[in-house]
Structure formats: C-alpha cells, structure tokens
Amino acid sequence: MPNADVVVVGGGIVGTCTAIELQRRGRAVTVVERDEMGAGTAAGSAGYLAYDDIFPIPSPAVAAGLARMLFDKRGPLVVAPTYLPHLAGWGLRFLLAARPEAVRRAIAALAPLNRLAAHAHDDLAARAGASRYLVRESVFHVCASAKTLEMTAKLIPVLASEGFRAEAIDRDALLAAEPIVSRDVAGAVVFPDSHRCTNPGAYGAALAQHFRANGGVVLHARADAVEPFGNGWIVRAGADDVRAPRVVIAAGAWSGRLLRGLGYSVPLESARGYHLMLAQPGVAPTRTLLFEEDHFCATPMEDGLRLAGTVEFAGLDAPPNFYRSDLLYEIARKYLPQLRRDPATRWMGNRPSLPDSLPAIGELPRHPGIVVAFGHERRGLMQSAITARCVADLLEHEAPPVDLTAFRIGRF
C-alpha cells in the first residue's frame, strides 16, 4: 500500500492546483483521479476568469422569478421535471440564501478571495510554464436593453467598494470595439481586470504535467471512501488504496458521496453546464463577451469560439441534454448575426453547486487532517489557485490569506 504526505482526492482544476501548491511546499503528494488529471469540468468552461464575480446566484430578484425560470426550457436555469422532488431541500436553502442580508454576507466572503485570485493564477501559471494560456483583457457584459444596462451599472459602486473596477459604455463605444455585435443592443459594462483562458483543457494538462515532472504521483482510480488508518487516513480506491496523515477532498460534484461515508450530509448538487465549440464561427471577437439577459459567454479560444453557459439540474447520472448546447447557438445569433455553426462540438460538465453559491473550503470539524475544497460552481477555474493556497495553509497549520469562516462546511 503506497504512502504519501497528502492525498488529494480529485484531479480537476482545484485538486490539480492544490497538489501543485502542496508539492511546492515540500510535500509528497498523490492525486487520486479516475480520469485524466487537469481535465475536469473546468476544461469545458467558458474560460472567463471573472475576478469581479462576487455576486451569488441566489438573490431577491432571482428568487422572485425562480418559478418562471425553472419551467422555461429556453431559460438560463432549468430543472429536469423528474429531478424536481430531489431539489426540495436544496431549493429551500437557496431561498434562504437569497435574503438580502445573506447576499451581503456572501459578497463580503467572495470579494477577498477573488481579489487574490488573479495574482495566485499568474504565479502558478508562471511556475508551471503555462502562462501562455492566460490573457489579461477587458471583458464586455453586453446588455440588449437599456433597462438591463441600467441595472447592471448599478452594481458598479458595490464592485468599487470591494476593489473591483467597472464602467458602463454606450452602444457606439461597444460597436467601435466589437463591430461584429448586433446594433440592437444598448451598451455594455466593461470589466478591465479579467483573465481569459485560451484553452482550459490544455491549461489543466500543462499544470498536471508540471506536477508529474516534479515527482507527483497520479493514481488513476475512483476513490470510494476515506477511512481512519492509524494516526491518519486511508483512501479506498479499489486495489490501489493509499494512506497519508492528511487528505484533501476536492472531487467536485462527486465530493458529497465521500463525505456521506464520513457522516456529513452536504447539500451538494450538480449544476450542469453546457458549451458549444465553433471551429469556424465566421466572427472573431477580440475578447470575452458575456450576454447579460441570456447569461452566457462567447469566448475566443485557440480552437475557435466557445459559447458556454446555462444551468441545468438533473442529477449526476442523467445523460446529457444537448438541446442546451444547441440553444446557445440559437440565442447567440441575436447578438452575433454573422455567426456560423458548423463544424461544432457539444459538451456537458457537472459543476459542483452549493445552495448559497459559496464553495466549501476548510477542515472537517470531526476529522482533523481532512480538508475539503469543492463547490466552486462557475468560479472553479477562477478560484482554483487561491483555493489551493488556502488549503495548503490549513494543512500546514498556517493562517490562510483570507478569512474562511463563511466557507466552512459546518454552515450546513
């Protein structure tokens, strides 16, 4: 049975970054990942590292329109009818998290984490020789209507109070910068301090290769359980069990299954996201465009243009509903009238979602030596490097760079 200083369960972007950070601190790390390390859900993401994304999904406005959204099959958030009964408890917690005071607490928790995220990614990418995949850019949040532009612009003072820059521009300024956008828009809110990942899959692969090149061990197996073993823990992975004094559970949407075996019940759901990758899109935006009304992105990447977004709740084991991918093209044509579809590839991934839109980062209260890092939802790629620093600090008994109280698993 192999040993390690730390076992990281999950080799998605959060687990990969965590393994690299622990390795940097001199620890012998084994990653248990059933698929390819670095190729998790983030590989199919929009590639938009929105450091200004400090607003949780639950809010009074979302709660007020939730019933209408859930049953609109063309909407940005849908629930499979057969899965609706399974969401009752999660949905109640979502509504509680939508109260104004809860939203303010979530913003206050997310902002410090996000403020440190860009530097953490820059540093990690430079050490791994992967900086070429990260591009600094201004992102346009395109607003079709004047009402949406006004509402989005109202967030600018809130962002400024937390140290994030943004400004509103009118239609003429938007079209001068991105003439491919339809004239039937009102303007945009510009976020000048964002990153674009030009190939999230290749970025994750480069990080994984860096980990291996520096002596990291990857065990290709499914972790079935984490159990006490002497003064530490054993990760049960079929014939390839591995033990260590410390364990990180960073298995994304699958983390809840491991925690149940340890006696924790966590309201973790898969917020399934979709993308449509257009190899020859016929248009070439110079930056990420996010379309506010329809809640999706068009991101220029090395291999074409990626349309990504939407949230679907159907459970971890349900087959993909690729109507959600195809819908992105139909909607995108409103904003990018010269857009072409073929050839295109469709994708679905399971984003780990907790009802308050905050990740779970912290040591398990009844199991010292086990730290969790999951539930980052749409922010997984963006928050992965800073989460890794927080996890490593916890395992090294050092003070993390931000207050993690709001992210403790005991909040549920």
Pairing of β 289-291 and β 134-143: parallel
Is the predicted pLDDT of residue 69 greater than 80, yes or no? no
Closest CA to 153 of 168, 164, 163: 168
Q: Which amino acid is at 259?
A: L
- The arithmetic mean of pLDDT across residues 220-247, rounded, is 93
CA gap 238, 314 in Å, rounded: 28
- The arithmetic mean of pLDDT across residues 58-76, rounded, is 81
Kindly indicate the confidence band of residue 387, based on its pLDDT and cuts at 50, 70 and 90.
Answer: very high
Q: What is the pLDDT of residue 2?
A: 66
Q: What is the pLDDT of residue 205?
A: 97
In angstroms, the first-to-last Cα distance of the chain is 35
113-138 pLDDT tens trace = 999 999 999 999 999 999 999 999 99
11-38 pLDDT tens trace = 999 999 999 999 999 999 999 999 999 9
Is the predicted pLDDT of residue 248 greater than 70, yes or no? yes
Percent over 70 (pLDDT), the chain: 99
Kindly indicate the confidence band of residue 356, based on its pLDDT and cuts at 50, 70 and 90.
Answer: very high
Is the predicted pLDDT of residue 67 greater than 80, yes or no? no
Q: Which residue has the higher pLDDT, 74 or 292?
A: 292
- The arithmetic mean of pLDDT across residues 284-307, rounded, is 97
Kindly indicate the confidence band of residue 164, based on its pLDDT and cuts at 50, 70 and 90.
Answer: very high
Burial class (CB in 10 A: 0-12, 13-18, 19+), 338: exposed
Q: What is the pLDDT of residue 208?
A: 98
Mean pLDDT (the chain) is 95
- The arithmetic mean of pLDDT across residues 345-365, rounded, is 97
Q: What is the pLDDT of residue 99?
A: 96
Is the predicted pLDDT of residue 412 greater than 70, yes or no? yes
Kindly indicate the confidence band of residue 1, based on its pLDDT and cuts at 50, 70 and 90.
Answer: low
Lowest mean pLDDT among 76-80, 258-262, 322-326: 76-80
> Please, what is the angle between helix 200-213 and helix 13-24, to 10°?
30
Percent over 90 (pLDDT), the chain: 91
252-293 pLDDT tens trace = 999 999 999 999 999 999 999 999 999 999 999 999 999 999
Taking domain 6-411, whether its CATH number is 3.40.50.300 is answered by no
CA gap 285, 140 in Å, rounded: 11
